[in-house]
A = this chain, B = another copy of it.
Amino acid sequence: MASIKDVAREAGVSIATVSRMLANKGYISDDTRQKVQTAVDKLGYRPNRVAQRLREQQSRILALIVSDIQNPFFGQLCRAVENFAQKRGLCVFVCNTDEDSGREQHYLELMAQEQVAGIIISPSSKGSQQLEALQKSKIPVVTVDRRASDQFDSVLIDNTESAQKLTLRVLAGGYRRIAAIVGANSFTASERLSGIEAALATAGLKPHKILTTPAFEPEGQAAMESLLDDADPPDAVICSSALLATGAYRAIHQRNIQVPETLGFACFDDPPWATFIRPGLTVIQQPAALIGETAAELLMKRIEQPDRSPSLIRLQGKLIERGSLR
């Protein structure tokens, strides 16, 4: 690969001139500009970003660290971040942690070594280790979907309010024995749960049952099965996330239970099958793309002004009715 030296030699000028001309900095005579351009074209020269990065101490790389890019929510988020980056000539490292704090740690470390300009992360744990690593390396960080500490910029939805909205809708359907399946050790899930409880309280109710479980599909299915097997089963179930809902709905589906008549069902997130079942799934939809875009913008702001005080942006979850509630 041709380097700036080759171009300089070819054009009969110094490397500084080539650099200036390419960066459009300082004055360059039309004649020289011409010569350099010709040399660049002839050699197919491309500036080496690695060298630029080392020299400029500024990387033009963003890191996105999430549990799993296959999760449609994160997929959407990723696209939004990537679109943003693309417009500005940035690149994006995508890292999946599978909610494994070891993997998270590994990537945080790696991204620090890579000198990335900033990190957008959905932190898997509130573990102090991770946090320390983030703080220590002075890399700008924005957390999404979850809040790790008030030291970082964060973009999330109004989980509690959205959960209230959804729960009120369940109550409006006449359901009274309302159970919840919620993710374990999850900031988001606990915010949502408190919204559910608050809404139920306004009707003088308590949750019929609360099942707390790791937020994966099989666990969601198992949880729903145990609810259905109960001597006193619920008449409606709310799941705190798409993966849990997917498993839960599978159980409902397999047992041929009538939704919404026998059982009301609703969840957070908008899984891809939500419109393929009958009736469709009533959900709180997160504005994933907007979250991603907002996070990216916030990150750029922090990169520019490292000392601004951290902000917390809450976006609105949207209730989408499709029929899985009476």
Residues of A within 8 A of B (CB): 1, 44, 46-51, 53-54, 59, 68-70, 72, 75-76, 78-79, 82-83, 86, 89, 91-96, 103, 106, 109-110, 112-115, 136-138, 249-250, 253, 271-273, 275-277
Closest to A53 in B: B50
Task: Evaluate contact between A96 and B82: CB separation under 8 angstroms.
Answer: yes
Supplied contacts A46-B137, A49-B113, 11 more A-B pairs, CB within 8 Å = A44-B136, A48-B115, A50-B54, A50-B114, A69-B78, A69-B82, A78-B94, A82-B95, A91-B93, A249-B276, A250-B275
Give A254 Cβ to nearest chain B Cβ, in Å: 10
Q: How many copies does the complex hold?
A: 2
**A79 contacts B91, CB within 8 Å?**
no
A273 to B253, CA, bound (A): 13
Name A277's closest neighbour in chain B (CB-CB): B276
Q: Considering the chains assembled together, what is the distance between the CA atoms of A110 and B78 in angstroms?
A: 19
**How far does the alpha carbon of A76 sit from the alpha carbon of B78 in the complex, in Å?**
14
Q: State the Cβ distance, A324 to closest chain B Cβ, in Å.
A: 12
List the 5 shortest-distance A-B pairs measured between CB atoms, nearest first.
Answer: A273-B273, A273-B276, A70-B75, A94-B94, A49-B113
